[in-house]
């Protein structure tokens, strides 16, 4: 519906058909005006010890702005005590100080025997309202056992935070030293995700807690969750998936270039990809898991020496809109705002932040990217439009494909109306 969006002091103040006097205007006639994308899952400046992911908060958020993103959620380093939680929060806040878009942090737990109630109450003091756990990565001390997860679900009664989980069954993962990138699906089989997701859904069902599954990769997993847990699916057991699992399959891993398509959970079979596409209605949110590395970083022969992750924050909307059309918009905007407690974001509506982007529909293939790596796995993908302008709180961050920059705010520290 053609409407004019009126903005004042960073907020949307009116949506009208009429033309009123304004200090400045932008004519978006013939294009789509869409709420700014909220990416619930990125990793900028992720320190893996031997490698640090190549996009920092500036280059990552700049690339994001070229993709219509206006808010992103990143993660604190894994911590195992209230003290280390405070330390990583201070460190990550500083690292994010040059982000050009609004952002928020999830806390991340590693293996711990600390008092979990103290930990969760420290989260509350710091206004962190989401916490990620891993059911795998026992080899790097990040795995939380079932008992820890059950305790955390119980603690949601004391402080209603969202529990995020990276879900793969640790015991079903094999890290053979001889494996190369071609063995990634064998190393982390689809069944390790499906079985663990079903077990955690059972736990959520029993404890009446709430859990958000990050990066669902397998069509089989979502089918089984639907069969067995339709009552809680996307009500108390939320499911996020990522553009890479809809776009590529294990076929990509078969040649030498496959090393540039390595991440965890890994790509699945063509059949699983098709099943995932067919079940898009049961996926609540889309995140990218953007974690960018250069080609040389991926050139270790042994899988265990290779950093896992790909960029995608800039391409997510193009890719998903080309496949699913307008039905994908809510899964990348208002659904994310609801789950991630961003009450003034995710919609073009009076009283909301003026976060939006202008999308020109046109058939093209992706031919550029703005993140800091020397390759992007989405190059040459056919899409159906491009982002012309991105506006955050009423200011153009990117206008007519020119980056203007901006200063993003840390949303954990915003007043309670945010």
- Residue with Cβ nearer Zn ion (263 or 378): 263
Task: Kindly state whether residue 129 participates in binding Zn ion, applying the rule CB under 5 A.
Answer: no
What is the smallest separation between the CB atom of 132 and Zn ion, expressed in angstroms? 8
| Separation of alpha carbons 61 and 311, rounded Å | 12
- Residue with Cβ nearer Zn ion (196 or 289): 289
| Separation of alpha carbons 245 and 168, rounded Å | 16
In terms of residues, how long is the chain?
418
- Residue with Cβ nearer Zn ion (78 or 189): 78
What is the smallest separation between the CB atom of 214 and Zn ion, expressed in angstroms? 6
- Residue with Cβ nearer Zn ion (102 or 289): 289
| Nearest one of 168, 141, 143 to 266, comparing CA atoms | 168
Stretch that binds Zn ion, among 109-117, 254-262, 284-292, 334-342 (CB under 5 A): 284-292
What is the smallest separation between the CB atom of 237 and Zn ion, expressed in angstroms? 19
* Helix or strand (DSSP H, E) at 33: strand 32-35
3-state secondary structure at position 131: strand
| Separation of alpha carbons 241 and 224, rounded Å | 15
Which residue has the closest beta carbon to Zn ion?
289
- Residue with Cβ nearer Zn ion (225 or 310): 310
- Residue with Cβ nearer Zn ion (82 or 307): 307
| Separation of alpha carbons 264 and 286, rounded Å | 16
What is the smallest separation between the CB atom of 309 and Zn ion, expressed in angstroms? 8
- Residue with Cβ nearer Zn ion (5 or 73): 73
What is the smallest separation between the CB atom of 43 and Zn ion, expressed in angstroms? 6
| Nearest one of 250, 252, 233 to 241, comparing CA atoms | 233
Stretch that binds Zn ion, among 55-63, 288-296, 324-332, 349-357 (CB under 5 A): 288-296
Q: Which residues pair with 34 in a beta bridge?
A: 357
* CB 74 within 8 Å of CB 44: yes
What is the smallest separation between the CB atom of 41 and Zn ion, expressed in angstroms? 6
Nearby residues of 282 by Cβ (< 8 Å), 6 or more positions away = 222, 225, 226, 233, 234, 239
For residue 229, give both structure tokens: 């847990």
What is the smallest separation between the CB atom of 350 and Zn ion, expressed in angstroms? 35
Q: Return the residue of 55, 129, 289, 318 that touches Zn ion, per CB under 5 A.
A: 289
- Count the site residues for Zn ion by CB under 5 A: 1
| Separation of alpha carbons 369 and 373, rounded Å | 9
Stretch that binds Zn ion, among 18-26, 118-126, 156-164, 283-291 (CB under 5 A): 283-291
For residue 214, give both structure tokens: 């990050």
Q: Which residues bind Zn ion (CB under 5 A)?
A: 289
């Amino acid at each position: 519906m053609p409407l004019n969006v009126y903005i004042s002091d960073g907020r949307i103040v009116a949506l009208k058909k009429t033309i009123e006097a304004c200090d400045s205007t932008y004519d978006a006639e013939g294009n789509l005006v869409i709420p700014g994308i909220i990416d619930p899952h990125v990793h900028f400046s992720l320190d893996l010890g031997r490698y640090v992911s190549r996009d920092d908060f500036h280059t990552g958020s700049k690339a994001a702005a070229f993709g219509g993103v206006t808010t992103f959620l990143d993660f604190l380093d894994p911590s195992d005590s209230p003290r280390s939680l405070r330390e990583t929060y201070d460190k990550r806040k500083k690292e994010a100080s040059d982000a050009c878009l609004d952002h928020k942090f999830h806390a991340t737990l590693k293996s711990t025997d600390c008092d979990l109630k103290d930990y969760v109450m420290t989260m509350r003091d710091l206004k962190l309202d989401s916490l990620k756990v891993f059911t795998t990565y026992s080899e790097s001390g990040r795995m939380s056992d079932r008992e820890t997860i059950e305790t955390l679900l119980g603690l949601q009664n004391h402080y209603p935070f969202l529990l995020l989980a990276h879900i793969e069954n640790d015991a079903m993962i094999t890290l053979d030293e001889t494996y190369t990138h071609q063995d990634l699906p064998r190393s982390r089989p689809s069944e390790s995700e499906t079985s663990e997701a079903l077990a955690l859904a059972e736990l959520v069902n029993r404890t009446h807690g709430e859990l958000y599954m990050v990066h669902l990769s397998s069509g089989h997993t979502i089918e089984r969750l639907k069969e067995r847990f339709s009552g809680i699916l996307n009500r108390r057991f939320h499911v996020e998936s990522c553009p890479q699992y809809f776009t590529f399959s294990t076929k990509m891993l078969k040649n030498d270039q496959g090393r540039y398509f390595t991440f965890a959970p890994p790509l699945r079979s063509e059949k699983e990809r098709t099943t995932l596409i067919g079940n898009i209605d049961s996926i609540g949110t889309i995140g990218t898991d953007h974690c960018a590395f250069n080609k040389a970083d991926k050139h270790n022969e042994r899988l265990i020496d290779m950093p896992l992750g790909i960029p995608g924050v800039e391409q997510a909307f193009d890719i998903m809109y080309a496949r699913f059309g307008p039905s994908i918009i809510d899964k990348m905007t208002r659904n994310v705002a609801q789950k991630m407690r961003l009450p003034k974001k995710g919609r073009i509506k009076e009283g909301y932040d003026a976060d939006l982007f202008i999308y020109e529909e046109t058939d093209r293939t992706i031919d550029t990217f703005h993140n800091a790596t020397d390759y992007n796995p989405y190059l040459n993908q056919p899409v159906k439009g491009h982002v012309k302008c991105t506006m955050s709180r009423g200011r153009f961050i990117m206008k007519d494909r020119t980056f203007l920059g901006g200063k993003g705010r840390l949303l954990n520290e915003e007043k309670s109306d945010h």
